[in-house]
Amino acid sequence: MSDNAASAENLYIPYPAASKFLSEQWGITAEELAALLWLGWEDGGLTAYRNANEFTDPPQVLFLKDEPQDLFSLLGSCWFKKSDLEDFKPLHRFVSGKDLRERWENKLGIPVESFIQAKIEESRLLDFSILIGSSSEDTLSKLEPTQFDNVLFLLEHIETIETEDMAISPSLSSPFQNSNQKTLAMSNTERARHAGNVRHSQPNGNREKREKVRDRWDSGEYYSRNQCAEKVSQELGMSISTARKALINTLDPENWIAKK
C-alpha cells in the first residue's frame, strides 16, 4: 500500500465503522445516515467520500447528481472523515414511514396514510424519498400507500404535528433520547436554528439563494430539477444538494411540458 493510501486511512473510516460510531454515540440508524448524507454538511448532515483507501483527496459522494438512485444501497461504498464524525452533533432526526405508521396507528381513527398525505399537502411534513431506487424528484404524493415504508420524515415535523394536532408532548413522543439528552439536543437545535435564520436571511444568504433557484426553475428553461440545480448552483456559489433541495415539492413551470 502506498504512503498516500496509508495516510488517507488515518483520516477516513469506512461505512461499517462510521455507522457503528454514530449508532453508539447518537443512536443513528443506517436509514438516518442516508438522510444525513442527503442533507449534506452545510444543512446539518454529513459528507461522504469514495475510494478514500486509494486517494489522499478522495471525491465526495453527490447523491443527487445522477438518477435513479437508491441512497440506502450506496452507503456501503462510503467513507467518512474521522474529524467530521467526532465533531458531528445531530440537529435533525428522522423517522421511517414504517415507524411513523406504527407510531400514529393507535392515535388516529382514520387511515394513517391519508393523514400523513394531508400533512404533506399542507407543507407541514416533508418527505424524503431517498430509500428507493427511483428518481430523487419523486414525492410521496406519487407513491402508493404500500411504499410509505421507504420514505423518511423529520422528527421535528412529526413532533410539531403531534403537539398541535394530537396534544402529545414532544418529551413523551421522542423514541431517541432520554430527557437529559433531549433537553441538550433541543437547546443545541434552537441555537443552531436561530443562528441559521440570521445567517440565511442576510442579503445573498442561503434563503435568498434558494428563492433564486426556485425562480430559475419557474422560468421553464431547464428539462429537469437536477439540471436546474447543477447549473444554477454554480452561478450562485452554493452546493448542488442545497440547490436541489430548494426545488422539493415545487410545481412544474407552465411552459415546461412543451419544452420536455
The 10s digit of each residue's pLDDT in 161-179 is 999 888 876 554 555 544 3
Same domain, 24 and 105: no
Distance in angstroms (rounded) separating the CA atoms of residues 75 and 97: 20
Q: 167, 196, 225: which is the final residue of a domain?
A: 196
Residue 185's pLDDT band, with cuts at 50, 70 and 90, is very low
Q: 52, 87, 122: which is the final residue of a domain?
A: 87
Read off the C-alpha cell for 108. 388516529
> Is a pLDDT exceeding 90 seen at residue 192?
no
Same domain, 114 and 192: yes
Same domain, 104 and 32: no
Closest-CA residue to 136 (of 60, 74, 57, 44): 74
Comparison of pLDDT for 37 and 67, the residue scoring more: 37
Q: Flag the least confident range among 55-64, 181-190, 227-236.
A: 181-190
Same domain, 14 and 104: no
Same domain, 101 and 169: yes
Same domain, 101 and 184: yes
Q: 64, 87, 110: which is the final residue of a domain?
A: 87
Comparison of pLDDT for 226 and 20, the residue scoring more: 20
Residue 131's pLDDT band, with cuts at 50, 70 and 90, is low
Residue 63: the pLDDT is: 60
pLDDT tens string 68-80: 456 777 888 899 9
Same domain, 171 and 216: no
Number of domains in the chain: 3
Same domain, 128 and 209: no
What share of the chain in percent tops pLDDT 70?
Answer: 68
Same domain, 218 and 188: no
Domain that holds residue 98: 94-196
Residue 123's pLDDT band, with cuts at 50, 70 and 90, is confident
Comparison of pLDDT for 247 and 66, the residue scoring more: 247
Residue 19: the pLDDT is: 95
Residue 59: the pLDDT is: 87
Contact present, 154 and 100 (Cβ < 8 Å): no
Comparison of pLDDT for 48 and 127, the residue scoring more: 48
Closest-CA residue to 3 (of 72, 61, 56): 56
Residue 175: the pLDDT is: 54
> Is a pLDDT exceeding 70 seen at residue 247?
yes
Residue 169: the pLDDT is: 66
Q: Could you tell me which residues come within 8 angstroms of residue 156 by beta carbon, excluding any fewer than 6 positions away?
A: 92, 93, 189
Same domain, 187 and 240: no
Place of cell 489522499: 56
Same domain, 192 and 106: yes
Same domain, 68 and 100: no
Residue 205's pLDDT band, with cuts at 50, 70 and 90, is low
Read off the C-alpha cell for 120. 404533506
